[in-house]
Structure 1
Amino acid sequence: MRWGIPMERLYFVRAPDWRSPKNVSMPDFVRAAELSWASVMTREQGYTPWVDFHDGHEQVTMNIDNFKEDAHPLQYYNQVSRAYIPNTTWTMEWLGSEFKRDTSDYMKSATYDDPDTCRNNAGFEKPNRTYWKSTFAVADARAARDYAIRVLGAQHVGEPYPWPPLDNCIAAQWVVLPQSSFQLHFVENPVYESMLLNISEFLMYQQDFAQRHTECINSFMLNNLVLQTTSLDPFIRRLEDEATPYFVFDLGNLYALMFSFPGNEGVTLQLQSTHVSWAVPVPLKLCS
């Protein structure tokens, strides 16, 4: 099993959108994430649960001079830097302590109180790869953790938040992928508010879509974590054992297995391989 190399490529795709029976579509959630991030930047609140959708990098990958030149909104606290990716529901996180020595006006204005409620920072993360995690907002962190263990062969690793969850505390479960140091973090965040629409409404939107459509994907499912493996077959068998809907797409020189975590449909993965025999690949199809 091979989970790729320690790098990240970001693809920005404009795709047809699906509007739910409640007359909600992805642009509504993008607007919610945008407004919620703005409320953090104006210090109306210290954090937004939309930030729990992010990829994690070491600070060395961040060009802070460009941030300063563009006056790009940034949240920095402890060893963490966060920025919202415009026109998406996604953010980026960089980890490192170098900015503690930066006394520029930009960094002073970007420095916030630590919003990570109930977190124990005694053993702060020390990633050993540049791109080291993907984090997802979920409805049930325990279920997401157990599903990743069963389907991906992941292993549970310790997390710095109280578990089982405590009232008024962020809760999380972390796993590491096999033969890799890459981690998946699943976060329940009952502490902070979202503007316009909240995370639970978004997860219900994705769940509703998954239940209604078995022949195509929606635009958010393109917002997936791509992992590489030698064959898709063992994962297809596990998904069938779990009764999880999945898609196998023919991408030309690769095959892609795409699926969402049941009950936590904000987590969508795409496993890529040159080999599949357990299912017949079809062309990628988007619902509108």
Structure 2
Amino acid sequence: MSKLSNLDIEEIFRQDAQKIIDARKRSKVIHATSDIKASGNEVEHSVRDFLRSRMPSNFYVGHGHVVDCNQQTSPQFDVLISDNTFIPILLRTNDSTEYFPCESLYAIGEIKSTYNKSEKPIEKFCENLKLVKENMKREEVFNTAYKGEFSDSTLMRDMILQKNNKVLNAIYSFMLFVDSEKFDISEFNDCYKKYGNKYLPNHIILLDRGVVFFGKITESQMIFERYPEYDENEENEWILSAFGLNEEKEKAGNHLGFLYYNLLEHMNSSLLEPINLMPYFNSLFTGRKSKMIKIKNSV
């Protein structure tokens, strides 16, 4: 008699996580040759390959810089995810560095093979996020039907779409450390005091240890708040926790799955309008009237 079989989701993500861990092992071998850039690229490539293999085709995964309509350009990011249905990137250089229009951006990520407190990785990422969120032109689009609440200003668009996000074009940010044995929570606390929730990454994935998330733990469940900067619940706080009930199994796959789930939920709950490209190209179309020549067509 035939019966239904089970798909082991945990094992699938465990294998994906192992590929990233193996990439770190290769990076250590390469690092020993003093090729530090190539060493770092091993892990970054592995994470981006994982995301590309799991993302629907309407999302684009790359790396590089964010550009706004005033041509201001961000520092380089290891992972950038954008809308692939219109203009995912403006430019790709010969070394595969890409330039992403600010309005098309869904998510920003930073990948580190090893946590090294002396490099202040969380603080540096917070500084770069602050540059993007504070100085680059990208107006927030608020959900006028958030939590099903309607008013005179509620848009028909939001009533029909019924998205879950308070800000429809919020940027989701994350960090991923493959080896976090020396992770020092004091650096995170210092960044929280300095930057608050607005410029901290939404989640920090410590692949071998757990996940840093914002929320609360009750007697029966963990409650996650995906967007700490917009959260007004004073009961929520930052928590570091490992995931997985089976103590004998590696947890890295669970932590990677947590990142994947939150990225998908974020993008499916977001709304990005088509980009107005004219501001990006205005400078190309500027001319002097005195230099213009009228062409008369003969009949």
Query: Which structure has the bigger radius of gyration?
Result: 2
Q: How high is the TM-score relative to the length of structure 1?
A: 0.27
Higher relative contact order (CA 8 A, sep 6+): 1
Q: How high is the TM-score relative to the length of structure 2?
A: 0.26
